[in-house]
């Protein structure tokens, strides 16, 4: 009668023009689900931030204790890492890490992106559906297996090739790492290139371009965001890789003067020594500081890559 309708009207006025009870329920349900999931997504990003904060605080808390006993200058500028004699100079590791990352990217990025382009644009469909699972497979191979293969197959080969007594060093590590991050970069780039809408391609072809021109001038710039993410994720995986690097890099705390001197980078040094030092020692703090440095270096390299892309001129 009068009351129910007005009641209904006052309720439905929030939602718009609804006249029957069932529609009211559905609309409310939909709005409720919307709100619910919005909160859920917000919760997940907060959870992620919490984890990030946890990791950063954990590393930084112990890391910064180093500076109670070691001066900034010594830690960052000295090349002498002999903790048994109280020398905590991490400069050699910092430089080596940057060299290793640069070399790895130099080797793997062109090849990975070429594979991604090949996969997405040029290869026939049977090849595509075949190579994708195989590339994903490469990611699942444990890093120790890569390390072991590097040790038993790559190093003897390098030894023959260069005549060195011990062919461990930055070059071997860069080769192993390139192989490890190849699937990451190429798969994510592949997805980015595939996601470029067909109409871009069709427009370019309509203007009379060859396939290469379409790829280089239209598709790659359009997919540059995704490719950039792929390169960054591959690079960060390479920076943080420990087990495989440890087996082929020689683990000597000195600057990499040639491609084949046994050296050490931040990650390999941390892994080799963290299990063998006492918790409350400056050595342990210095190792945590090196982990923090890894974060900082990786952040700087990420900013550089983003900057390169921005200069490349693509739109956000």
Partner 1 sequence: MSGFTATKRNIRARFMDRTATGLFWGIGLLILLLIFWLLYTIMHKGLPEITPKFLVDLPDEIEAGGGIGPMLFNSFYVLILSLIFSIPIGVGAGIYMAEYAPANKFTEGLRICVEALSSVPSIVFGMLGLAIFAEYFGIGLTILGGSISLAFLNLPMLTRVTEEAIRAVPNDLRNASYALGSTRFQCIRTVVLPVAMNAIVTGVCLVAGRAFGESAVIILTAGLSTSGEMWDFSLFAPGETLAVHLWYVQSEAIVEDARQIADKSAAVLVFVVLLINMVFRIPLWFNNRKLKR
Partner 2 sequence: MNVFKKFTVLTLATMFVITSAFAGSAAAAGDTLKGKITINGSTALLPLTLQAAKEFQKLHPKVSFAASGKGSVTGPQAVKKGIADIGACDWDASTDVPGFKAFEGQVANKVAVIPFATVVNKNVGVDNLTTEQLKGIYSGKITNWKDVGGADEDIVVITRAFGSGTRVNYQAKALGGGDIVKKSKNYKEVGSSGDMKTAVATTPNSIGYIDLVYVSGDIKAVKFNGVEATAENVINGKYKIWSYGYYMTKGQPTGEVKAFIEYIQNKKFQTTTAKKMKFIPLSAMK
Residues 123-142 touching partner 1, rule: CB under 8 A, are 123, 127, 131, 133-142
Q: Which does 125 bind (CB under 5 to 8 A by kind): partner 1, partner 2, none?
A: none
Nearer to partner 2, 209 or 252 (CB): 252
How far apart are the C-alpha atoms of 162 and 158, rounded to whole Å?
Answer: 6
Of the candidate residues 104, 224, 263, 298, the single one contacting partner 1 (CB under 8 A): 298
Of the candidate residues 98, 138, 271, 302, the single one contacting partner 2 (CB under 8 A): 271
Q: Is 89 helix (H, G, I), strand (E, B) or coil?
A: coil
**Interacting positions 142-201 with partner 1 (CB under 8 A):** 142-145, 148-149, 153, 179, 182-184, 187-188, 191-192, 194-195, 197
**Residue 72 lies near partner 2 (rule: CB under 8 A):** no
Output the CA torsion sign for 277, 282, 288, 290. negative
Taking the complex as a whole, how short is the minimal distance between the CB of residue 157 and partner 1, in angstroms?
A: 12
**Residue 247 lies near partner 2 (rule: CB under 8 A):** yes
Q: How many CB atoms lie within 10 A of CB 237?
A: 17
How far apart are the C-alpha atoms of 194 and 190, rounded to whole Å?
Answer: 6
Of the candidate residues 14, 52, 207, 304, the single one contacting partner 1 (CB under 8 A): 52
Burial class from Cβ neighbours inside 10 Å (0-12, 13-18, 19+) for residue 264 reads buried
Helix (H) or strand (E) holding 222: helix 220-222
Of the candidate residues 211, 308, 310, 312, the single one contacting partner 1 (CB under 8 A): 211
Q: For the CA atoms of the chain, what is the radius of gyration? A: 27
């Amino acid at each position: 009668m009068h009351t129910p309708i007005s009641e209904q009207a006052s309720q439905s006025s929030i939602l718009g023009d609804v006249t029957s009870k069932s529609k009211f329920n559905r609309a409310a349900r939909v709005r409720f689900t919307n709100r619910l999931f919005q909160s859920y997504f917000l919760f997940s990003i907060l959870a992620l931030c919490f984890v990030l904060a946890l990791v950063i605080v954990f590393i930084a808390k112990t890391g910064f204790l180093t500076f109670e006993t070691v001066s900034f200058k010594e830690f960052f500028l000295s090349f002498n890492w002999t903790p048994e004699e109280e020398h905590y100079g991490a400069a050699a590791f910092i430089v080596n890490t940057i060299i290793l990352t640069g070399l790895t990217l130099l080797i793997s990025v062109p090849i990975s992106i070429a594979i991604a382009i090949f996969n997405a644009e040029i290869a026939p469909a049977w090849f595509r559906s075949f190579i994708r699972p195989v590339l994903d497979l490469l990611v699942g191979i444990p890093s120790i297996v890569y390390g072991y293969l590097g040790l038993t197959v790559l190093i003897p080969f390098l030894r023959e090739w260069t005549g060195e007594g011990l062919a461990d060093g930055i070059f071997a590590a860069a080769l192993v790492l390139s192989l490890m991050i190849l699937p990451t970069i190429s798969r994510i780039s592949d997805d980015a290139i595939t996601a470029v809408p067909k109409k871009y391609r069709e427009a370019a072809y309509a203007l009379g371009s060859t396939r290469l021109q379409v790829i280089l001038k239209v598709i790659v710039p359009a997919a540059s965001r995704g490719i950039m993410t792929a390169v960054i994720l591959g690079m960060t995986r390479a920076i943080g890789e420990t087990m495989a690097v440890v087996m082929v890099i020689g683990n000597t705390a000195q600057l990499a003067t040639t491609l084949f001197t046994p050296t050490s980078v931040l990650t390999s040094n941390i892994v080799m020594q963290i299990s063998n030092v006492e918790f409350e020692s400056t050595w342990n703090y210095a190792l945590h500081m090196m982990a923090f440095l890894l974060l900082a270096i990786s952040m700087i390299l990420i900013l550089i890559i983003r900057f390169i892309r921005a200069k490349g001129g693509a739109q956000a």
